[in-house]
Amino acid sequence: MWSIDSETGVLTDVLLCPPDFYKWIETNAVAVETLGSGRQIDAQKLHSQFRQLEDALDQAGVQRHYIEPEPHLPYQVYTRDSSQTTPWGPALTQLALPARRGEAASILRFHGAKDGFWRYCSVGAIEGGDIHIIRPGLLLVGWSGVRTTREGATQFAGWFKDAGWEARLQPFAEHFLHLDVLFCMATDGLAVACIEVLGDPFADWLKAQGIRVIEATYREVMAMSCNLLALGGDRVISPRHSSRINAALRAEGITVHDPELDLFAAGGGSVHCMTMPLRRAPI
């Protein structure tokens, strides 16, 4: 059974989707700005960047699994949103936008062929980019009222509370799309976060949990520079254009794999968005 109980345990298996039909669509503020600029996608470079992500996962000893891309679903590459692996198995999330709801079919096929699902989200909307299983016993769920609604976040958090977990619901402005644009765990005890947006009460909560922060600026957030993937064992994958944050992570003794991912970032997502961990070693 697929299972994770943290964001930072050693990653052994991950779910990806090839960018065969990827294109920018108006699903978030970053993509809208990119489309408005007249910038065009270089298909050869796009696939080269995806291969760099695959290579980074290979170097980290992570086994790659794939869903099948479909022509009418250009954002399937962001596999973080359409499901969430939990300590008790995968949950099928509830995608908010009509342009992305069809992504559930490939997730159903992938997990249905194996062990099935632990839960099916059925209230409001909730997407995986807003869900952070920080460590055993501690859950963080963001909600903007659009991609994840308060009702959807409450249902998901309630299942964890019933299992004895502490769960925090964190509101933020719709402009930022998902919480993983503003916050990602790097190692057990260290996060990258935009405190100027999330606020002092959130910073105080992190401190109370024993989590230090490398602070990201608004400009870095909108370039998806906060959106990284913890590999466990003091290793991360972080986009190459996140140069200042990557330097700060390395100063902490963290090994940083840094594939080029700027074409995906221009669509409103980076490495955290493009990966759904299927199995991590317990921490």
Band (167; pLDDT cuts 50, 70, 90)? very high
pLDDT tens-digit readout, 208-222: 999 999 999 999 999
pLDDT (0 to 100) of residue 1: 87
**Cα–Cα distance between 133 and 174 in angstroms, integer?**
21
Please classify residue 41 by burial: count the beta carbons closer than 10 Å to its beta carbon, then call 0-12 exposed, 13-18 middle and 19+ buried: middle
Buried b / exposed e along 108-141 (16+ C-beta atoms within 10 A):
bebbeeeeebbbebeebbbbbbbbbbbbeebbbb
Residue 66 pLDDT more than 70? yes
Least confident of 37-46, 154-163, 232-241: 37-46
What digits encode the pLDDT tens for the residues 82-104? 999 999 999 999 999 999 999 99
- Output the pLDDT for position 180: 98
> What's the token pair of residue 53?
């992500």
Sign of CA dihedral 239, 66, 57, 272: positive
Nearest to 3 by CA among 123, 147, 200, 136: 136
Which DSSP symbol is given to 69?
P
Q: Report pLDDT digits (tens) over 223-252.
A: 999 999 999 999 999 999 999 999 999 999
Kindly report, residue by residue over 261-271, the tens digit of the pLDDT.
999 999 999 99
pLDDT score of 113: 67
C-alpha 97/C-alpha 146 separation (Å) is 9
Residue 89 in tokens:
């198995």
90 has which bridge partners?
85
Residues in the chain, total? 283
How many CB atoms are located within 10 Å of the residue 58 CB?
11
Q: E strands of 47-108, at which residues? A: 63-66, 83-86, 89-92
Instruction: Note the pLDDT tens digit of each residue in 171-199.
Output: 999 999 999 999 999 999 999 999 999 99
Task: At 178, list the tokens.
Answer: 């998902």
State residue 79's pLDDT score: 98
What token pair was written down for 135?
A: 């460590």
DSSP structure string for 108-171: HHHHHTTT--SEE--SS-B-GGGEEEEETTEEEEEE-SSSS-HHHHHHHHHHHHHTT-EEEEEE
**Each residue's pLDDT tens digit, 129-152:** 999 999 999 999 999 999 999 999
Given this model, what pLDDT does residue 34 score? 86
The answer to whether 136 touches 6, Cβ cutoff 8 Å, is: yes
In this prediction the pTM is 0.96
Is residue 216 within 8 Å of residue 226, measured between CB atoms? yes
C-alpha to C-alpha distance for 84 and 111, rounded to whole angstroms: 11
Q: What is the mean pLDDT of residues 38-53?
A: 96
Confidence label for 283 from pLDDT (cuts 50, 70 and 90): confident
- Alpha carbons 79 and 25: distance in angstroms, whole number: 16
How many whole angstroms separate alpha carbon 45 and alpha carbon 263? 8
CATH class of 11-280: alpha beta
Which residue reads 């954002």 in tokens?
75
